Amino acid sequence: MEWEAVIGLEVHAQLATQTKIFSGAATAYGAAPNTQACAVDLGLPGVLPVLNAECVRMAIKFGLSTQSTIAPRSIFARKNYFYPDLPKGYQISQYEHPIVYNGYLDVLLEDDTLKRVGITRAHLEEDAGKSLHESFYNMTGLDFNRAGTALLEIVSEPDLRSAKEAVAYLKALHALVTCLNICDGNMQEGSFRCDANVSVRPKGESRLGTRTETKNVNSFRFVERAINYEIERQIQILESGGSIRQETRLFDSVKNETRPMRSKEEANDYRYFPDPDLLPVMIQQEQIDQVRETMPELPWEKQQRFQQSYGLSRYDANVLTSSQALSDYYEITLQHAGGDAKLVANWVMGDVSAFLNKHGLSIEECPVTALQLAKLLQRILDNTISGKIAKTLFEAMWAGEGDVDTLIEKKGLKQVTDNQAILAIIQQVIQESPQQLADYQAGKERLFGYFVGQVMQKTQGKANPQQVNDLLKKALSK
């Protein structure tokens, strides 16, 4: 039987505010434990939460960018469950009346088609503290610095049909929230987390199968792996006559599998009710219009501009606009390298990305700045060095060995463009290769490559390749 996967994602985007959603405590990541948890965050008796205006503004920004309805009136509710990292015994969230609902995001898929993914809702809520189970014998350590940090939970419609589509959606959403500057998008630090709802059904069936929710998937790669695992697992169960249990599962990235959460970690009945400590949040049209004025160029708008102004393909433009930092890097390099949008795109998506991947760095941490890369590319464009030499220079710049011009000087890498010098080497090569010369002249034309190789070797790659080709052709046809 042919099966179809049905996937919806719930993303928790940590809002990039200075303070918590309901208190004036700081949110800086990596502070010493429990130094950023105030009485409100700890739920001490007698405290009253007061909503952070910035959270509302950020939610409106997100709503506008996804063509969502922005609720004129939304309500905070208590989600009740007991866990030590939730000191109040409830999480303040939104349930029946979220601040943003009914929008969509258009996602570019690998096959260059656009897919519209519905956004059911996005609501504001507070994060819990952090439990550390490993370091203490029979005890759990609690750090409440994260408690009360603002989250925007973004729930998609079950519109996704494969792990690849889910990842494409997740990347598009990531690009959006970082571009809007409402979330720093740092997945390692947990600023952008994803739960995946997955079910399968026979192809053509319109009813949904029983779904599972996989939590704790904190990288694009893991999301893809977790969903694929879950799809395979469910199909196997159904094909052998079993049925799927609706449950919450955890992804184990080491074993590369999902497994059910222990029942103790599960809480099925949250007994939501409106939080009496908080009043309805009212949003006027005027405020929405004010936020609209502050909207940045959105990823898909930037993508179109990159295609139109720089003549890039939709795919290249999509990759280069996947984050604000990357598109800035590209545009600064291009501006200073002086033209050739495609050359710059190839470098940024090629060598730069490859090095970043290899060293596990983000573009913000790239040791070769956009200005340094621009200078390197200038030297290709003005024929000082070849593209090949540029690659070795990039490596040296990455290692912090100096700037382009100093390195060219120091390593003696300046391209040889003097016709006489190149000709002398060509003559030498021809003299040393009588057999190859005879074969070539007898019609073995692919030996041309051999001669080019010899000349480049003798000049250590410094000869201008175009000049070598031209001069060699003339010399060999004599």
Partner 1 sequence: MSTMDSDKVNNIAHLARINIDATKLPEYANSLSNILHLVQQMDSLDTEGVTPMAHPLDVMQPLRSDAITEKDFSAALRKFAPRLEADLFLVPQVIE
Residues contributing to the site for partner 1 (CB under 8 A): 17-19, 23-26, 32-40, 42, 50-54, 56, 73, 75, 80, 82-84, 89, 97, 131-133, 135-136, 138-144, 262, 264-265, 267, 269, 271, 274, 276, 278-282
Q: Which residues contact 11 (CB under 8 A, 6 or more apart)?
A: 153, 154, 155, 156, 170, 173, 192, 193, 194, 195
Amino acid code (one letter) for 277:
D
Residue linked to tokens 């390593």: 411
Q: Around Cβ 248, how many Cβ atoms within 10 Å? A: 17
DSSP string covering 59-78, please? HHHHHHHTTPEEPSEE--EE
Query: 270: left (phi > 0), else alpha (psi -120 to 50), else beta?
Result: alpha
Which residues make beta-bridge pairs with 200?
Answer: 5
**Nearer Cβ to partner 1, position 36 or 258?**
36
Q: Structure tokens of 106? A: 């258009």
Residue linked to tokens 């998609």: 156
**Nearer Cβ to partner 1, position 141 or 350?**
141
CA pair distance 20, 237, nearest whole angstrom:
44
Geometric angle at alpha carbon 121, from 117 and 123, rounded to 5°? 140
**Nearer Cβ to partner 1, position 135 or 240?**
135
Least Å distance, CB 50 to partner 1, is 5
Q: Which of 183, 208, 206, 207 is nearest to 194 (CA)?
A: 183
Amino acid code (one letter) for 336:
H
Least Å distance, CB 320 to partner 1, is 32
Phi, psi values for residue 327, rounded to 5° = -65, -35
Least Å distance, CB 141 to partner 1, is 3
Least Å distance, CB 14 to partner 1, is 14
CA pair distance 93, 271, nearest whole angstrom:
12
**Nearer Cβ to partner 1, position 294 or 383?**
294
Least Å distance, CB 35 to partner 1, is 5
Least Å distance, CB 180 to partner 1, is 16
Least Å distance, CB 53 to partner 1, is 4
**Nearer Cβ to partner 1, position 82 or 285?**
82
CA pair distance 4, 276, nearest whole angstrom:
44
Q: Structure tokens of 94? A: 């939104």
Directed axis angle between helix 419-432 and helix 448-458, to 10°? 120
**Nearer Cβ to partner 1, position 144 or 394?**
144
Least Å distance, CB 218 to partner 1, is 19
**Nearer Cβ to partner 1, position 111 or 286?**
286
Least Å distance, CB 75 to partner 1, is 5
**Nearer Cβ to partner 1, position 133 or 358?**
133
Q: Which of helix, strand or coil describes residue 50?
A: coil
**Nearer Cβ to partner 1, position 51 or 452?**
51
Least Å distance, CB 330 to partner 1, is 31
**Nearer Cβ to partner 1, position 73 or 444?**
73
CA pair distance 456, 146, nearest whole angstrom:
59
320 and 171 in contact (C-beta within 8 Å)?
Answer: no
**Nearer Cβ to partner 1, position 16 or 122?**
16
Q: Structure tokens of 322? A: 């996947």
Least Å distance, CB 291 to partner 1, is 14
CA pair distance 264, 245, nearest whole angstrom:
17
Least Å distance, CB 34 to partner 1, is 5
344 and 334 in contact (C-beta within 8 Å)?
Answer: yes
Which class for 266: exposed (0-12), middle (13-18), buried (19 or more C-beta within 10 A)? exposed
- Written in H, E and C, the secondary structure of 281-300 is EECCHHHHHHHHHCCCCCHH
**Nearer Cβ to partner 1, position 18 or 460?**
18
